[in-house]
Amino acid sequence: MTIYAIVSGLGAAILLLTAGYLFGARKGASARDLLRRQVQLQAASLDQLREQSSQEAAERETGLRSAIQDVLAPLVERERISLDLAQLASRSGQRRELVPLLDKIAEVGRFETVLLTNEEGLQLAANSGAHHAERLAAAATRLSLVAEKISGEHDMAPLSVMLRDASDATTLCRIFRVQDQTLTLTALSNDPRLTSVALDPALAKVQVALTAPV
């Protein structure tokens, strides 16, 4: 009887130990699974944050690049026009090449009208597609007189005069001298990026044509 009780007690102890081990193992496995899921969730969250940061950085970079391009675009366009005007091809020694030359200036500079007048307001030449040339010649003469008055009163010699009207059209008059004559090269444009020196690169070609024999 005593032996039976001892064996039964040992069996019960073994069962309790086994049950406790299994319970502990299951609990440990559950804890490890929970920890594993938490680590996976944290890793996924970090990946998402990194991806979001990369996307935001890319968007900021794209926005900055676009802003820089917007700022530089007028400067680049101005330099392109200046270079193209300076490289205009004209036949030296041909006075009759003035009109084709003004056509090229209008095309390259995207001017609606390009007009050459003398100090009396007489039209010497204009591009083939000129609009309101007579009106523009009269305006150029008045602007030249204003520039001459400023030069006399303030001992300054204005080289160019720009006017912008209510329709956002800009009139640019470039005053220069050829063989003791005061001439005005006038351009009419709807480009708001027009500057006071826009016609300067073309002056040399115009002067060559003017000094050539007829």
Q: Rounded mean pLDDT of 105-110? A: 89
| SS3 at position 117 | strand
Cβ distance 113 to 132 under 8 Å?
yes
- Alpha-helix runs per DSSP H in the chain: 2-86, 98-109, 133-154, 200-211
Amino acid identity of 195?
Answer: T
Query: Which CA distances in Å does 80 have to 73, 74, 84, 160?
Result: 10, 10, 6, 20
Structure-model confidence comparison of residues 111 and 147, the more confident one: 111
Amino acid identity of 16?
Answer: L
Q: State the pLDDT at residue 59.
A: 77
In the predicted model, what is the mean pLDDT of the chain?
A: 76
pLDDT band at 7 (very low <50, low <70, confident <90, very high): very low
pLDDT band at 167 (very low <50, low <70, confident <90, very high): confident
Structure-model confidence comparison of residues 193 and 212, the more confident one: 193
Cβ distance 130 to 115 under 8 Å?
yes
* Dist CA 190 CA 74 (whole Å): 14
Q: What DSSP designation does 96 have?
A: G
Q: Rounded mean pLDDT of 121-149? A: 85
Percent of the chain with pLDDT over 70: 68
pLDDT band at 119 (very low <50, low <70, confident <90, very high): confident
pLDDT above 70 (res 75): no
